[in-house]
A and B are shown apart, each in its own frame.
Chain A
Amino acid sequence: GAGVSQSPRYKVTKRGQDVALRCDPISGHVSLYWYRQALGQGPEFLTYFNYEAQQDKSGLPNDRFSAERPEGSISTLTIQRTEQRDSAMYRCASSPQGSANEKLFFGSGTQLSVL
């Protein structure tokens, strides 16, 4: 594909529902990151994958948040029992070789609203 693709673009859900956010990185990219970004703020790290291995999940706020990348390509971020405080822009990014010292390619994000 042309870039990192995320779906859905917008998600409105009721408190208590589960949501699944999808990220399709650039083909062949080793690294995949999930970030949360509040309006006007910098990206907040959530989790990191190197191929299919989740190497760091220290940024996930609590155990309602989980992520997977089973085949080393597409990733899903799942939020269970959503709460209003989970409302935010969720962005995925990928990079070619798995190093912090290289360009990150961001997706257009999923804007999550929990009512």
Chain B
Amino acid sequence: GENVEQHPSTLSVQEGDSAVIKCTYSDSASNYFPWYKQELGKRPQLIIDIRSNVGEKKDQRIAVTLNKTAKHFSLHITETQPEDSAVYFCAASRSNYQLIWGAGTKLIIKP
């Protein structure tokens, strides 16, 4: 069935460096790709999303890129800060109303 693979499962970077999280999806009909951030003990919150008619989208220090041919999309965080520490989930649309979720990446920012 359709799935979304997310890598790495854990990522540790020095404060100020960049972080990249990658996802691969299998359903060629997927056309919406959101990223959610979940801080410890909190609810998931949307941080950025991209639709299939766009190759890249930026919002301050975060960006998402999409390669539809390869079925890859990635989250890029530049100039990482302690408050970026969280679990990040990618997802891909499966149908009119459903998302398929990645397993999550725990991002650790080292001081």
Contact = CB atoms under 8 A, between A and B. Distances in A.
A50 interface: yes
Contacts, number: 57
B20 interface: no
Interface stretch (A18-26, A67-75, A76-84, A93-101): A93-101
Interface residues of A, number: 22
A23 B86 CA distance: 25
A109 B43 contact: yes
A103 B49 contact: yes
Contacts of A91: 43-44
A107 B93 contact: no
Nearest to B95: A100
Given A43-B44, A45-B99, 9 more contacts: A40-B104, A42-B89, A43-B89, A45-B98, A100-B97, A101-B51, A103-B34, A104-B36, A106-B44
